[in-house]
Amino acid sequence: MDPRIELAAGSRDSVLALRRVERQQAIIERLHAARGVRLQVERLAADLRVSTRTLVRDVERLRSSGVPIHTQRGRAGGLSISPAAVVNPITFDLPEVAALMSSLTVLGPSVSPSATSAMNKLVQALQER
């Protein structure tokens, strides 16, 4: 194995990391379902049963990873994802597909509708060849 590759399973806090990934997926799905309507940070944090600070940290991690979450401060502020966001076609090689599949397996391919859909698309893509 390449010594530059770090395994997440070696993390002393893998359970917390898994919860964070599940929570971040839930944030993305809720923002997408809101179809551009801003969701209040406090309400979203309460729904996910975390502190406001934890939710803000999760959103910052997602934004720094490239997820297009928009924030607006103030009384009418909140979080949103543009409903018109278009995802360009992506081409993956076999190791990249395997990496995504193994990540979904760890998360649980049925943890959310989008996780299930993604896993089904990845499996289908491999079978079509």
Q: Spell out the domains of the chain, with CATH numbers in brackets.
A: 11-81 (1.10.10.10), 94-127 (no CATH)
Q: Give the pLDDT confidence score for residue 6 in this predicted structure.
A: 52
pTM of model > 0.85: no
Q: Give the pLDDT confidence score for residue 40 in this predicted structure.
A: 96
Q: Give the pLDDT confidence score for residue 14 in this predicted structure.
A: 77
Tokens 């395997």 correspond to 98
Select from 22, 87, 100, 82 the least CA-distant residue to 58.
Answer: 22
Q: Give the pLDDT confidence score for residue 84 in this predicted structure.
A: 66
pLDDT in tens, the chain (129 residues): 454 555 444 555 778 888 898 899 999 999 999 988 999 999 999 999 999 999 999 999 999 998 999 999 988 889 999 876 677 888 999 999 999 999 888 888 888 888 899 999 999 988 865
Q: At what angle do helices 113-127 and 14-33 cross, to 10 degrees?
A: 100
